[in-house]
Amino acid sequence: MRNKILVVGLGLIGGSLAKAFNKCGFEVHAHDINQNSIEKAIKEGIVKEKIEDLEDVEDEYAFSFICVPVLESIGVLEKLSSKIKKGIITDVGSTKAQICEFALKNRISNFIGGHPMAGTEKIGYEYSFDTLFKGAYYFITPLDINEKANVQKLKELLNTIGCRVEEIDYSLHDTITGVISHLPHIVSAALVNMLNENSIFCKFAGGGFKDITRISSSSPKMWADISFSNKKVLLELIDKYIDLLINFKSNLESDNYNDIYSYFERAKSIRDKIVSDSK
């Protein structure tokens, strides 16, 4: 049991975890509704066993990772928690309040929420790679019902694949990721949605446009799920964002050069600091 890991959802994140754990000597079993990714992973020697149906899961895993889109995660947790009683169940979902509140309500004390702050705009196992989490922040959101020893075990596992683990309250997590990840995806998609596929705008879209819109090539299912799962936070953030634009618009209308200058100056200084601090 000590070296067995189950991955449910063998896409970009599940596949990258499977590859990283396999490299560290763990035996990985996997379940996915898409058989192609599992078969490829078995051929590559990344996954040892395919789990056809979650009803058949044995209580033999030290860790089970739920790596499906967030609105699917609770259903998977419900099934897994009826089978896995000894090992730790965790997830990688981009939102944490919904699943943690489900675990609290149902007293699933072996569930610890998680979220790697690493990824790409690509979808599926074929784009997964074993070093995705190396040096990346990885949030975990322990609950009062969790055993401290289990939280420690999860941290140690994540450290072995190179993650910088940060413990955080699940609700604060959703506010932070709303600001730095979820709202930017909505804005990025809005900029692209201002064009239409054949327009002359697309022809001339250059480096800057491609930089700010790279993430709009991400999975629509994943981002629709995240939007609904973090609805309350996002509704507030969208209002704040609209206020910023309205303020910019009114400064432009009234030829207020100084405030328009300050808008860009403030953004440059914050952005430059983010980049230099992360070096």
Ligand X SMILES: NC(=O)C1=CN([C@@H]2O[C@H](COP(=O)(O)OP(=O)(O)OC[C@H]3O[C@@H](n4cnc5c(N)ncnc54)[C@H](O)[C@@H]3O)[C@@H](O)[C@H]2O)C=CC1
How far apart CA 83 and CA 240 sit, in angstroms, is 44
Site string for ligand X, 43-82 (x = CB under 6 A): ------------------------xxxx-x---x------
Closest approach of ligand X to the CB of residue 11, in Å: 2
Q: Quick check: 114 binds ligand X (CB under 6 A)?
A: no
Q: What angle do CA 187, 124, 139 make, to 5 degrees?
A: 65
14 binding partner (options ligand ENO, ligand X, none; Cβ < 5 to 8 Å by kind): ligand X
Chain residues 178-237 in contact with ligand X, contact rule CB under 6 A = 219, 222, 226
Three-class DSSP category at 128: coil
Give the range of 40-48, 65-73, 113-121, 204-212 binding ligand ENO by CB under 6 A. Answer: 113-121
How far apart CA 141 and CA 19 sit, in angstroms, is 24
Could you tell me how many residues make up the chain? 279
Of 160, 181, 219, 256, which lies in the binding site for ligand ENO, with binding defined by CB under 6 A?
181
181 binding partner (options ligand X, ligand ENO, none; Cβ < 5 to 8 Å by kind): ligand ENO
How far apart CA 208 and CA 279 sit, in angstroms, is 22
Q: Quick check: 128 binds ligand ENO (CB under 6 A)?
A: no
Of 5, 6, 13, 154, which lies in the binding site for ligand X, with binding defined by CB under 6 A?
13
Of 93, 113, 114, 178, which lies in the binding site for ligand X, with binding defined by CB under 6 A?
93
Q: Quick check: 124 binds ligand X (CB under 6 A)?
A: yes
How far apart CA 265 and CA 262 sit, in angstroms, is 5
164 beta partners = 137
Which of 178, 185, 193 has its CA nearest to residue 234? 178
E-state strands within 1-110: 4-8, 27-31, 49-50, 63-66, 88-91
How far apart CA 270 and CA 273 sit, in angstroms, is 5
E-state strands within the chain: 4-8, 27-31, 49-50, 63-66, 88-91, 111-116, 137-141, 164-167
Helices (H), 135-182: 148-160, 170-177
Closest approach of ligand X to the CB of residue 224, in Å: 11
Q: Quick check: 113 binds ligand X (CB under 6 A)?
A: no
Give the range of 2-10, 21-29, 142-150, 166-174 binding ligand X by CB under 6 A. Answer: 2-10
Number of residues that bind ligand ENO (CB under 6 A): 7
Three-class DSSP category at 66: strand
Give the range of 91-99, 152-160, 203-211, 260-268 binding ligand X by CB under 6 A. Answer: 91-99
Of 69, 113, 119, 178, which lies in the binding site for ligand ENO, with binding defined by CB under 6 A?
119
Nearer to ligand ENO, 51 or 77 (CB): 77
Q: Which residues bind ligand X (CB under 6 A)?
A: 8-14, 31-34, 37, 67-70, 72, 76, 92-94, 115-116, 119-120, 123-124, 219, 222, 226
